[in-house]
Structure 1
Amino acid sequence: MGTFFARHYDALMGWLEKRGFTRIRANLLREASGTVLEIGSGTGLNFPLYHGCDKVVALEPSEVMRRTSMKRALIAPVPVEPVGGDAQNLPFADASFDTVVGTLVLCTIPDPLRALREIRRVCKPGGTVLFFEHVRLEHAALGRLQDWLTPAWKRLCDGCCLNRSTLDTLQQAGLEIKRTERYYGDIFVTVVARNPEAGSGDASASRTGAFES
């Protein structure tokens, strides 16, 4: 993520948070429990909203955003450990986490399918996966408009893609979608999903990582 966008993320997103994003995040994060991995934790906007879990490992590749998040980590209701890393190559052992969370992050990851397969690997079988994302609209004309706008939007917003079919990608990765809820004319969606038991779907190969719960 570029330095300018990282430094000014909170200011750029502030009006959206006040107009409902914080409420949406809070409702979703009520589903988080146990040891949690948050990918793309950014400036830590979710940190004050975790209450029903034991610990949060917050993975963020941008050093600028990670430093900003430290203040929120120190006063969070549960222990939060910000760490560097790439969601496409998670530095954690298989089945390390009870819950994995991502909010407004899959739009910027270069290979979201690879990241989701990594999420399946590090999430315990039967564990919970939670997302809040914006998606490509099913409306034919508006969907094409998103396609047309995406190249310029990516340049302006550090790789953010307006037109990803995220629900399809979640299913392609082998996650079981249990519940969705749409907002703001269906452009935003929250997802509560389950990581299937071992042997189900298209999970990535096992490997030993650096973190164990």
Structure 2
Amino acid sequence: MSTLFSKIYDPIMRPLEKKRIGNIRKRLVSPQKGIILELGSGTGTNFSYYKNAEKVIAIEPDSSMRNQSLPKVKSAGVPLELVDASSGHLPFDDNSFDTAIGTLVLCTIPNPNRALQEIRRVCTSGAPILFLEHVRVDRPLLGRLQDWLTPFWKRLCDGCHLNRHTLDLIKQNGFRVERIEKHYKDILLVVEARNEN
């Protein structure tokens, strides 16, 4: 990611986080227990929401994002380790995690299928796999607008795909989807799934 994008990410997202997304994150993250893997932790927006975890290991490949998250690591209410790693090559043993969480991350990962397979590998069987993601909507006008904007948006936002069919990817990679919660006219989804390996 570019340093510029990482610096403007929090100020741009702050109004959305305060209005609604922060509450969605909190409801998704706070109840989770055990050893948790957070994918693409960015600037550490989720860190303050962890309340019941035994430990959180957060991966973030972008050094600028990691550096911005360091104060949030120090003030987290649970043990939290920040790791320089890519979701496509997770440096962890099989069955290491009780839960995996990704928020607004699958849109940017270059190979989401590889990342999802890695999540399956490192999480225990039956582990909750939780996502908060924006997706391509299934409405002709808005969906085509997302398709049209994506090439420009990817350059502006360091690889973010506005039109990724994320829910389909989750299902295709062997996760059992148990619950879907839709927000912002179906653009934003909470996906609660289970690891079936």
**In structure 1, what is the Cα distance between the partners aligned to 2:138 and 2:30?**
28
In 2, distance between residues paired with 1:34 and 1:67?
26
Q: Share of identical aligned residues, percent?
A: 53
Aligned to 2:90: 90
Residue identity matched to 2:56: V
| Partner residue, 1:180 | 180
Paired residue for 1:147? 147
Structure 2 letter corresponding to 1:189: L
Quote the Cα distance in structure 2 between the aligned partners of 1:27 and 1:180: 14
> Structure 1: which 5+ residue stretches go unaligned?
199-213
* 2:129 paired with 1:126: no
Whole-angstrom distance in 2 between the partners of 1:61 and 1:31: 26
Greater relative contact order (Cα < 8 A, sep 6+): 1
Q: Deviation of residue 31 (structure 1)?
A: 4.2
Could you tell me which residue of structure 1 aligns to residue 39 of structure 2?
39
Amino acid at match of 2:141: A
Moved over 6 A (4+): none
Structure 1 CA distance, aligned partners of 2:26 and 2:46? 8
Q: Which amino acid aligns with 1:37?
A: L
Corresponding residue SS for 2:64? helix
Superposition pairs of residues 186-201 of structure 1, within 5 angstroms: 186-196=186-196, 198=197
Q: Secondary structure at the match of 2:70?
A: helix
2:177 & 2:30 partners in 1: Cα distance?
A: 17
Deviation at 1:192, TM superposition (A): 0.8
> 1:202 aligns to what?
none
Q: What CA distance in whole angstroms lies between the structure 1 residues aligned with 2:148 and 2:31?
A: 35
Query: 1:128, 1:32 → 2: CA distance?
Result: 9
Partner of 2:66: 66
1:30 deviates by 3.3
Q: Secondary structure at the match of 1:148?
A: helix
Which runs of no fewer than 5 residues in structure 2 stay unpaired?
none
Match of 1:53 in 2: 53
CA positional deviation for 1:144: 1.1
Letter in 2 for 1:23: N
Deviations 1:142-187 (A, max 9, x none): 1111111100111111110000111100011000001110001110
Instruction: Quote the Cα distance in structure 2 between the aligned partners of 1:88 and 1:12.
Output: 27
C-alpha displacement of 1:45: 0.5
2:9 aligned partner, one-letter code = Y
